[in-house]
């Protein structure tokens, strides 16, 4: 073991016992609680509440952005799905293109950061708070969110940087800075880029790390009570496994995610389809319940607006459309045509929200848990719904949750390291910045699994939401060039100038 590895191990072992003390947790929470309150007052401010319109600012920001991009680009999310599938199949792949991963690998890496507990626990939360009708608004938010992904991921490839080793750095930090600088708005671009990077680093430690290790351990100890009290040990094991993957960078991450993600999605969707198949004669009734709940909001606080807010909010947590994180993974794709990755990226919200979240909602409806939650919330409710049909399914769900959490952590480590090196690479060097970040990230895996740092995780989750503010603001300025580039690209495809390689 080299000196650096010994230092990492020493830091890890020192942190484990420290974070298991409740008094330490309480002190840390007390520091972050005021910050959580401040962010809540901003993100969940309801500017039109005096008119009886109870919609939080962050939800409005995401909705308006997604709607604008969809209409401005002429419903590209409908028109170019066939081309997205062709690109995923590799029909247009040129082996000589610059980049690190294929279109398929870029998509599954991005999906591994979004497909996960949001689909399992998030849908259950949405239905508990907003009823079955929240599903409709989740689907709609996923549909319009496809356009936001298209814009951001196109720009991520267009403004990425590739070093002499062929390693790619891209995402909102780069297109906000360089794109706005081209328009003579360099000062604004720098502010937005730095703000995004700070929020991304914070979000990677919380929602992309601590929350994942915390919830996966909670499910493990729930299914196997013998593991209760061993959160720190679980965290060390998971941190070691995560460390083995993230040391190799995006290529190593992609090699893992392009195997894990299709497998876990297939297993989860298959289980959903089994329950849907058994109740296939009730499918029409299930969708009528969803539609009725969406447009009446009966019995839900805030009525139809309340249901809409819950649906859009949970969809945003699930697919992160407009947040900008996935653009960092998509930037690493092997292509010389930025539009191609924008097209591929649209499939993310479709798979994540329209397919997987809808499947979860149908299972909850068919099993009766959408109307009678029996006091359960989150993953516990989804687990109870599946287990009511298949008693053994809680073990399958445990494996799914652990894999979802693992894949989410390795993807978010990549997002975080790119944001961290963007902020500090110029001061301490990119390699040192990467090492510092990865050590911190692995420490937070242990913190999350062995602690109940509620306020810390709430703060970090809000930082993920906060990423949407600088990102969408920048996209408004840059979307015109995406439209021009789209027109040019699809003209060349139609004329045969851009040919299939397969």
Using one digit for the tens of pLDDT, what is the confidence trace for 247-265?
877 777 777 777 777 787 7
Residue 156 lies in a domain: yes
* Radius of gyration, alpha carbons of the chain: 22
Report the alpha-carbon distance of residue 89 to residue 37 in Å, rounded: 46
Task: Flag the least confident range among 99-103, 187-191, 309-313.
Answer: 309-313
* Residue 43 lies inside a defined structural domain of this protein: yes
Q: Which of 281-285, 299-303, 322-326, 452-456 has the lowest mean pLDDT?
A: 299-303
Residue 217 lies in a domain: no
Whether pLDDT at 433 is above 90: yes
Please indicate whether residue 412 or residue 314 has the higher confidence score (pLDDT).
Answer: 412
**Is the pLDDT reported for residue 9 higher than 70?**
no
pLDDT of residue 240: 92
Q: Is the pLDDT of residue 12 over 60?
A: no
Tell whether 216 is covered by a domain: no
Mean pLDDT across the chain: 83
Based on the structure, what is the number of domains in the chain? 1
Burial of 339 (0-12, 13-18, 19+ CB in 10 A): buried
214 found inside a domain:
no
Identify whether 49 is part of a domain.
yes
Instruction: Please tell me the predicted confidence (pLDDT) of residue 21.
Output: 43
- pLDDT confidence of residue 304: 72
Q: Is 274 within the bounds of a domain?
A: yes
Domain that holds residue 23: 3-209+222-367+375-495
pLDDT band of residue 237 (cuts 50, 70, 90) is very high
DSSP-based helix, strand, coil % in the chain, nearest 5: 80, 0, 20
Comparing 217 with 7, which gets the higher pLDDT? 217
CATH number for the domain spanning 199: value is 1.20.1740
Determine phi and psi for 14, rounding to 5 degrees. Answer: -70, -35
- Structure confidence by residue, pLDDT tens digits, 327-370: 998 898 888 899 999 999 999 888 888 888 888 888 888 888 87
Within-domain flag for 501: no
Kind plus residue range of the DSSP H or E element containing 438: helix 430-450
The reported pTM is 0.86
| End-to-end CA gap in the chain | 46
Name the burial class of residue 260, with classes exposed (0-12), middle (13-18) and buried (19+) by CB atoms within 10 angstroms of its CB.
middle
How many of the other CB atoms lie within 10 Å of CB of 255? 15
Nearest to 239 by CA among 1, 9, 6, 395: 9
What is the 8-class DSSP label of residue 497? Answer: S
């Amino acid at each position: 073991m080299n000196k650096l590895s010994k230092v990492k191990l020493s830091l890890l072992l020192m942190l484990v016992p420290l974070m298991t003390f409740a008094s330490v947790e309480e002190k840390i929470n007390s520091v972050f609680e005021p910050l959580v309150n401040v962010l809540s007052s901003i993100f969940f401010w309801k500017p039109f509440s005096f008119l009886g319109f109870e919609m939080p600012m962050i939800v409005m920001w995401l909705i308006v952005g997604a709607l604008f991009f969809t209409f401005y680009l002429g419903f590209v999310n409908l028109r170019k799905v066939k081309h997205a599938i062709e690109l995923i199949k590799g029909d247009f792949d040129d082996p000589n293109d610059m980049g690190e991963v294929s279109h398929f690998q870029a998509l599954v890496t991005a999906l591994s950061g979004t497909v996960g507990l949001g689909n399992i626990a998030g849908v259950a939360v949405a239905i508990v708070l907003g009823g079955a009708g929240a599903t409709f608004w989740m689907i709609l938010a996923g549909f319009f969110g496809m356009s936001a992904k298209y814009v951001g991921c196109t720009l991520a490839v267009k403004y990425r940087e590739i070093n002499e080793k062929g390693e790619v750095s891209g995402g909102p930090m780069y297109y906000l800075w360089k794109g706005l600088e081209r328009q003579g708005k360099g000062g604004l671009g720098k502010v937005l880029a730095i703000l995004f990077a700070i929020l991304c680093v914070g979000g990677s430690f919380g929602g992309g790390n601590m929350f994942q290790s915390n919830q996966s351990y909670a499910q493990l100890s729930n299914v196997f009570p013998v593991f209760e009290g061993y959160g720190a040990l679980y965290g060390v094991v998971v941190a070691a496994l995560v460390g083995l993957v993230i040391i190799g960078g995006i290529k190593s991450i992609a090699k893992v995610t392009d195997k894990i993600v299709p497998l876990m999605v297939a297993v989860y969707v298959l289980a959903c389809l089994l329950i849907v198949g058994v109740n296939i004669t009730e499918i029409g009734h299930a969708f009528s319940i969803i539609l009725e709940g969406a447009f009446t909001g009966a019995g839900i606080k805030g009525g139809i607006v309340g249901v809409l807010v819950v649906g859009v909010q949970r969809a945003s947590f699930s697919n992160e459309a407009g947040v900008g994180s996935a653009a960092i993974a998509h930037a690493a794709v092997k292509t010389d045509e930025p539009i191609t990755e924008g097209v591929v990226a649209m499939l993310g919200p479709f798979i994540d929200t329209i397919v997987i979240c809808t499947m979860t909602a149908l299972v909850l409806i068919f099993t009766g848990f959408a109307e009678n939650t029996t006091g359960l919330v989150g993953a516990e409710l989804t687990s109870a719904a599946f287990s009511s049909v298949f008693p053994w399914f809680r073990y399958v769900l445990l494996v799914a949750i652990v894999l979802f959490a693992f894949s989410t952590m390795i993807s978010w480590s990549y997002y975080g390291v790119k944001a961290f090196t963007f902020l500090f690479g110029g001061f301490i060097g990119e390699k040192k910045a990467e090492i510092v970040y990865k050590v911190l990230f692995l420490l937070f895996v242990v913190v999350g699994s062995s602690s109940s740092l509620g306020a810390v995780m709430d703060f970090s989750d809000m930082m993920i939401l906060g990423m949407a503010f600088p990102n969408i603001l920048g996209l408004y300025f840059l979307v015109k060039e995406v439209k021009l580039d789209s027109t040019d690209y699809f003209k060349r495809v139609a004329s045969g100038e851009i040919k299939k390689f397969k």
